[in-house]
């Protein structure tokens, strides 16, 4: 595909793109009314077209991270950039409202924020006129031809960091990207690939080999928030959980093939596994953390209809000695649940979604469990599989059996957590390498 064809097709699709964005922003606005702790996203819809009423500090660094995982991964980068360049304003954009919530609530340094403008020439140029960045950093697989072209024309360095390509994305780019994609990749000053397989994929799509640098995954350089372990231990003590087996089911999903059916959802599979665990460990507690806030109410209704004794975080319901399930229907507390648990299951993997980040529980010395669907993070998973640092299960029965074994054997828990942490430690250092590559672009 060529850039002119891309611009024509996206212009034709503009009404659908606009409607989708408007709908997401409206949904977030209604969620803010339901959950007052959620931060508002100012000019949520208008900013997608480069319109924003806030006055930006100019001449800084613009970092774009599309959603939740990518946003959390840039927090150490934000800290490092602020420390190295304290006078440069940092602007973060997101492509999803969930990612925006993470940035607005939990960014470790002061940031300017808006939703990323859609990749229309007029929207991109309007935003660049407002921001006038000194450097643009795109995270993971954010390749927007009009944006890359505009930065090239203005001589603004743009880099693609923590870059990776899922197999599905690679095949789609290979089929449809053509000269337009090749030009965009080569307009980047460099591409910092996570793993060698990612570097090979970018080269196969036309990126010049000298532009590709395999630096590793900056997610491995995550920082444990100060006081996190103390806060988690205090929470466990308040709820008398020190002697109970607590496991987290994190970022669980509906089944993409039947999203309206709770029976096929990952949450239902978690409850089935927990029911199996309760047969031998009747005081075990499941902390259930659905991935998307708009499903909190649905999961609560299903728990009401079940025989489980459960409590709800958002309503500050107490955990009693007979509480079996704790619905963690809040945003931004996942690290606390990981810190408080004895084992962690990572969702999006027992339904065909493709998996989520396994690094946070590993950094906290927790046994890590996943289903077989991890195509989105295959290279990352393979590093853990090679080091026997993750347990893969095929269904809820196997998950229940794994949890039972961990609950019955504290030594097994300890060893599994240590192997996960060692795999995490063996892959750190990408952030330092990335900062060294960025430095000449800012000096």
Question: 287 phi and psi, to 5 degrees?
Answer: -100, 110
- State how far the Cα of 206 lies from the Cα of 159, in Å rounded to an integer: 16
Provide the strand spans (E) within 283-407.
285-290, 310-312, 325-327, 343-346, 368-370, 391-392
Give residue 388's region: left, alpha or beta (phi > 0; psi -120 to 50).
left
Asked if residues 264 and 314 have their Cβ atoms less than 8 Å apart, the reply is: no
- State how far the Cα of 254 lies from the Cα of 237, in Å rounded to an integer: 33
The three-class DSSP label of residue 186 is helix
Q: Is 70 a catalytic residue?
A: yes
- Give whole-number Cα distances, 442 to 59, 134, 247, in Å: 10, 7, 45
Using the 8-state DSSP alphabet, how is residue 116 labeled? P
- State how far the Cα of 338 lies from the Cα of 323, in Å rounded to an integer: 19
Residues noted as catalytic: 70
């Amino acid at each position: 595909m060529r850039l002119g064809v891309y611009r024509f097709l996206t212009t034709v699709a503009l009404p659908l793109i606009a409607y989708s964005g408007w709908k997401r922003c409206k949904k977030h606005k209604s969620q803010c009314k339901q959950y007052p702790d959620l931060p508002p996203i100012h000019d949520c819809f208008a900013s997608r077209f480069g319109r924003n009423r806030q006055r930006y500090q100019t001449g800084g660094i613009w970092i774009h991270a599309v959603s939740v995982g990518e946003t959390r991964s840039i927090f150490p980068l934000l800290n490092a950039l602020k420390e190295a360049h304290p006078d440069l304003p940092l602007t973060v954009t997101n492509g999803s409202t969930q990612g925006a919530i993470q940035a607005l609530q939990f960014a470790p340094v002061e940031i300017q924020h808006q939703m990323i403008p859609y990749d229309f020439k007029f929207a991109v140029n309007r935003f660049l006129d407002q921001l006038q960045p000194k450097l643009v950093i795109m995270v993971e697989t954010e390749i927007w031809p009009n944006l890359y072209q505009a930065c090239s024309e203005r001589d603004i360095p743009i880099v693609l960091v923590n870059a990776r390509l899922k197999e599905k994305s690679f095949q789609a780019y290979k089929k449809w990207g053509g000269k337009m994609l090749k030009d965009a990749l080569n307009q980047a000053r460099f591409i910092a690939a996570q793993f060698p397989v990612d570097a090979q994929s970018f080269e196969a799509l036309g990126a010049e080999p000298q532009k590709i640098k395999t630096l590793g995954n900056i997610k491995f350089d995550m920082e444990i928030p100060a006081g996190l372990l103390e806060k988690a231990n205090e929470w466990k003590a308040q709820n008398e959980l020190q002697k109970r087996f607590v496991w987290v089911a994190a970022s669980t999903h509906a089944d993409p093939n039947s999203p309206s059916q709770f029976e096929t959802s990952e949450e239902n599979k978690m409850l089935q596994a927990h029911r199996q665990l309760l047969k031998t460990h009747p005081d075990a507690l499941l902390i259930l953390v659905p991935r998307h806030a708009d499903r909190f109410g649905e999961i609560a209704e299903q728990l009401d209809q079940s025989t489980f004794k459960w409590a709800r975080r958002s309503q500050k319901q107490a955990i009693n000695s007979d509480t079996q399930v704790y619905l963690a229907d809040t945003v931004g507390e996942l690290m606390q649940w990981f810190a408080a648990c004895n084992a962690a299951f990572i969702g999006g993997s027992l339904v065909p979604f493709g998996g989520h980040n396994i690094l946070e529980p590993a950094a906290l010395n927790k046994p890590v469990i996943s289903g077989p669907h991890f195509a989105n993070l295959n290279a990352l998973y393979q590093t853990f599989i090679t080091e026997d640092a993750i347990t893969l299960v095929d269904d809820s029965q196997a998950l229940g059996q794994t949890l039972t074994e961990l609950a019955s054997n504290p030594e097994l828990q300890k060893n599994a957590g240590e192997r996960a942490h060692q795999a995490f430690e063996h892959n750190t250092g990408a952030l330092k390498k990335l900062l060294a590559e960025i430095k000449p672009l800012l000096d």
